[in-house]
Amino acid sequence: MIETSIREINEKIQQESAFIDLINLELNKVIIGQKHMLERLLIGLLADGHILLEGVPGLAKTLAIKSLAGAIDAGFSRIQFTPDLLPADLIGTLIYSQKNEEFVVRQGPIFSNFILADEINRSPAKVQSALLEAMQERQVTIGDSTFLLPEPFLVMATQNPIEQEGTYPLPEAQVDRFMLKVVISYPKKEEEKMILRQNNSLHRAPLNKVVSPESILRARAVTREVYLDEKIENYITDIVFATRYPSQYKLAKFDGMINYGASPRASINLALASKAYAFIKRRGYVIPEDIRAIAHDVLRHRIGLTYEAEAENITSEDIINEILNTIEVP
């Protein structure tokens, strides 16, 4: 007999998760494959966490985010980050009105529900900071006035992994603000063939707005209610602590390889993202599978490696894999 609360959560999930299929249908009209990326975008949407997409150019990062925003009846802004972009171009500024003889606020493109920060690492730190402050505080101050950002507010940023001229890598403290860092790989051969056909076709199915922002907010509220047992909490803290003190978890081989481990924000985001993952799977409680499914995306940008690790060709992915394979599952 499942306790009443879990049964209720399950029923709520059944009611509120219908839009997931609708969004998936719309996204599949324009995106072939990349199921992992689309699922992560939904996790970000449900868990109220910002997402950083990383992949080589041409993997439909921008298209996926644009399409997701297109399927939701909400505001969308795309900001192309360039080296000459200024914070005022992002958040807005005060402009003198000759008619009224006073300064008026001109809000920037950040005042929208969904923000696509394209190639975020092409702008210098001051612009990145302006965006990331808005991400954290969910408010923007222009002049003397503070403006709350609309709900839902979600930043989906893209960056290319290739070292190029004129790029400014995100500092560790700023990259930590992203709930998930999703690494996108090339599509499979069959998928590539489908992409080829779809792009050569004259007819393209238009995207419909199938979800309202209110549905998203309701789904978020249910996601928060998903049951997370103490055993799962212990599992999460064990994983995060293993990134900080590997030798305490039979991972002494990583001593001297990890410069800094995952922050408490990683624990919080692991819990939130696993709840969202359980919601997507129509389950009212979190199981260890959920943690393992999202652990890489939550942790990969939160583990700092030493020069020794880089010299040994050890990546944060290797460390996460080893941690997951070593820590006992409850």
Partner 1 sequence: MMNENINKILLSLLLVITMTTQAQQPVASASLDTNSMLIGDQIGFNLQLQLPQTTPFRWPVFTDTLTADIEIIHRGTIDTTRMANGMLRIDQKLTITVFDSGYYVIPPVSFATGAALDTIAETEPFLLNVFTVAVDTTQAIKPIKGPIAAPLTFAELFPWILLIVAVLLIGAALFYYYKKRKKKQPVVFARPKPKIPPHRWALDELEKLRNEKLWQKNLIKLYHSRLTEIVRQYLDDRFGIMAPEMTSQEIMQAAYDINLPDKNLRELQQILELADLVKFAKYTPIPGENSQSMQQATDFVKDTAPASENKTEKMNGSNEYTKEAIAEAAPTVTRNESYAQ
**Which residue from 59, 239, 284, 320 is in contact with partner 1, where contact means CB under 8 A?**
284
Q: Does 271 engage in binding with partner 1 (CB under 8 A)?
A: no
Q: Contact region for partner 1 (CB under 8 A) — 11-19, 42-50, 191-199, 322-330? A: 322-330
Shortest Å distance, C-beta 251 to partner 1: 12
- Return the residue of 285, 300, 314, 319 that touches partner 1, per CB under 8 A: 285
Q: How far is the CB of 238 from partner 1 (least distance, A)?
A: 11
Out of 184, 242, 257, 286, the only residue in the binding site for partner 1 (CB under 8 A) is 286
Q: Distance between CA 209 and CA 315 in Å, rounded? A: 40
36 belongs to the binding site for partner 1 (CB under 8 A): no
| Number of shown-chain residues binding partner 1 (CB under 8 A) | 23
Are 154 and 112 in contact by the 8 Å Cβ rule? The answer is: no
Told to check if 244 binds partner 1 by CB under 8 A, we report no
Q: Of 6, 14, 4, 7, which is closest to residue 279 (Cα–Cα)?
A: 14
Residues contacting residue 170 through CB under 8 Å, at least 6 positions apart: 52, 120, 121, 128, 159
Is residue 233 a contact point for partner 1 (CB under 8 A)? no
Give the amino acid at 189. Answer: K
Choose the binding region for partner 1 from 20-28, 109-117, 256-264, 320-328 (rule: CB under 8 A): 320-328
Q: How do strand 51-54 and strand 154-159 relate by DSSP bridges?
A: parallel
Q: What would the x/- binding string for partner 1 be over residues 109 to 148, using CB under 8 A?
A: ----------------------------------------
Cα 181 to Cα 299: distance, rounded to the nearest angstrom: 8
Q: Is 327 in the site for partner 1 (CB under 8 A)?
A: yes
Establish if 304 lies at the interface with partner 1 (CB under 8 A).
no
Least spacing, CB of residue 184 vs partner 1, in Å: 24
Q: Which residue in this structure is represented by tokens 């489908």? A: 194
Q: What is the DSSP string of 191-243?
A: HHHHHHHHHH-S--PPP---B-HHHHHHHHHHHHHSB--HHHHHHHHHHHHHH
Q: Residue 291's closest CA among 219, 246, 247, 229?
A: 229
- CB-wise, 6 or 268, nearer to partner 1? 6
User: Is residue 292 close enough to count as binding partner 1 by CB under 8 A?
Assistant: yes
181 to each of 49, 68, 216, 243, how far by Cα in Å? 11, 17, 21, 17
Instruction: Give yes or no for a contact between 175 and 135, defined as CB atoms under 8 angstroms apart.
Output: no
Interface residue with partner 1 among 193, 231, 253, 282 (CB under 8 A) is 231
CA dihedral angle for residue 220, residue 225, residue 231, residue 233, rounded to 10 degrees: 50
Is residue 227 a contact residue for partner 1 (CB under 8 A)? yes
Which position among 232, 239, 240, 242 is part of the footprint of partner 1 (CB under 8 A)?
232
Report the interface residues with partner 1, using CB under 8 A: 1-3, 5-6, 227, 229, 231-232, 284-289, 292, 324-330
